[in-house]
Amino acid sequence: MQEAFQLFFEKTYIIVVPTFKDTLVHHHNMLHVFFGNGDLQLSAGEKDLCGNVIILENDIEHKAPDGEIAFFLFVDPTSHFAEVLREKFLKGEPAVAVNLSERNFDKASLTEDDIKKTVFDFAGEVQLSKLNLDERILQILHNVDSFKHLGARVSELAEKYSYSESYLTHLFKKETGIALKSYLLMRQFEYVWREVMKGRSLTEASMDAGFSSPSHFSDVCRKLTGISVTKVLESQKSQL
């Protein structure tokens, strides 16, 4: 029987237990960590990588690695977890492959606690908090992460927080390393999947998040992750 697609939401990262093996070439503003049953192979950042754990910096073009992916993480680039990955593993490189002590995962029974233990064994104790950023930016991040600004434009946030649009755009990018527009989109994307995994319809969740239509969300999902929303939802229905 095919394993069920699963999502687990932590404070600064998202866990995905996939059913798919192939994705389109894509890039996004989150760091990636792939954990494999055995070696994974991936070409990214002009490097050929092989290991049972592959880590990608944000905004690196890639596809899903070859090999059996047990699970992977999307990591908030403004978090301490991202800082650990950069300092301990990436060390200025866009992508690296490393090896965790060999272990096999039964995806059909893989739990959130199993995965969190594996992440701990790999990266150590990860602080589920933001980096030490400008207090003004931390406040905006807190509100965006709490889904208080779903569908908001940068110009609307600038007005709300009494900044010029150009200054807020510059300050956010300087502090976090990513564009505010991209961060807003990332949280919209997360909101929809959270709601869909709770059982809400894709139409309701995507419209609540500020997307113009479910097909708009599907297009964004394909662009950000290389994943077809239709295929994921079909795989979920097949488990019922």
Question: Could you tell me if residue 62 is inside a domain?
Answer: yes
Its domain, for residue 17, covers 6-123
The pLDDT tens digits of the residues spanning 1-16 come to 345 578 899 989 999 9
Predicted confidence at residue 39, as pLDDT, reads 93
Structural domain ending residue among the three candidates 78, 95, 123: 123
Q: What is the pLDDT of residue 18?
A: 86
CATH code at 233? 1.10.10.60
Of the three residues 73, 99, 123, the one that is the final residue of a domain is 123
The total of structural domains in the chain comes to 2
Higher-confidence residue of 15 and 46: namely 15
Q: Is residue 205 part of a domain?
A: yes
Please state the pTM of the whole predicted model.
Answer: 0.89
One domain for residues 10 and 116 = yes
In a domain, 153, yes or no: yes
Same domain assignment for residues 119 and 14 = yes
CB atoms within 10 A of CB 56: 28
Q: Does pLDDT of 238 surpass 80?
A: no
In a domain, 55, yes or no: yes
Same domain, 114 and 141: no
Structure confidence at residue 44 (pLDDT)? 86
